[in-house]
Amino acid sequence: MADRRPQRPSALRAQGAFQAAASSDDEGMEGRQTRSTRRGVRVDLSKLDLQSLLRYRKVHKLGDAPATATKEELVPSVARHFAQQQVVDEEEVLLKFVLAIQKHNKQLRQLSAVQQQKLQEQRLAMQQMLQQQQQQYRQAAAQQAMLLKGGVQKPRR
């Protein structure tokens, strides 16, 4: 590739930064799983009001906290449950989202192609019907012309 144009300095800097970022990402990706658990709760759940904690307990069906629990009793139970939740990998979610959009667009294009084919078939049927009506009109006009000239013909069926 000796005949390639020389790259601008800004393009070379950007390419070097991209390669450095990619290599540092690759180093950390070797043992990486798509999902991970939280190491520690970074959220201070004690700042939530009692209604929010009760709603969290109800939604996630936490059985270790009594129905009439106070805020002080709910916070440890909610914190334990919250800490055990798996964190979704953003890259995986974004990739699946993009693939879902592409699949949806493909289905729309296929549906559009089917609709276009149906429309084409309808147009063809309408053209055939119009041609038949025109032929019937010409036959009726020819019969009327014959009647006016004095010749009597029986209508064809």
pLDDT reading at 71 higher than 80: yes
Residues 135-145: what's their mean pLDDT? 88
Task: Answer whether residue 151 shows pLDDT above 70.
Answer: no
HEC-encoded secondary structure of the chain: CCCCCCCCHHHHHHHHHHHHHHHHHHHHCCCCCCEEECCCCCCCHHHCCHHHHHHHHHHCCCCCCCCCCCHHHHHHHHHHHHHHCEEECHHHHHHHHHHHHHHHHHHHHHHHHHHHHHHHHHHHHHHHHHHHHHHHHHHHHHHHHHHHHCCCCCCCC
Pairing of strands 86-88, 35-37: antiparallel
Give the domain extent around 46. 40-85
- Is the residue at 25 inside a domain? no
Do 75 and 122 belong together in one domain? no
User: Residue 129's pLDDT is what?
Assistant: 92
In this structure, is residue 9 part of a structural domain? no
Same domain, 72 and 52: yes
pLDDT in tens, 97-108: 999 999 999 988
For 5-64, the pLDDT digits (tens) are 666 666 556 556 545 544 544 444 444 444 444 455 478 889 999 999 999 998 998 887
pLDDT at 39: 52
Average pLDDT, the chain: 77
99 and 139 share a domain? yes
User: pLDDT over 70 for what percent of the chain?
Assistant: 69
Count structural domains, the chain: 2
103 and 139 housed in the same domain? yes
Q: What is the pTM of this model?
A: 0.35
**6 vs 79 pLDDT, higher one:** 79
Whether residue 75 is found in the same domain as residue 97: no
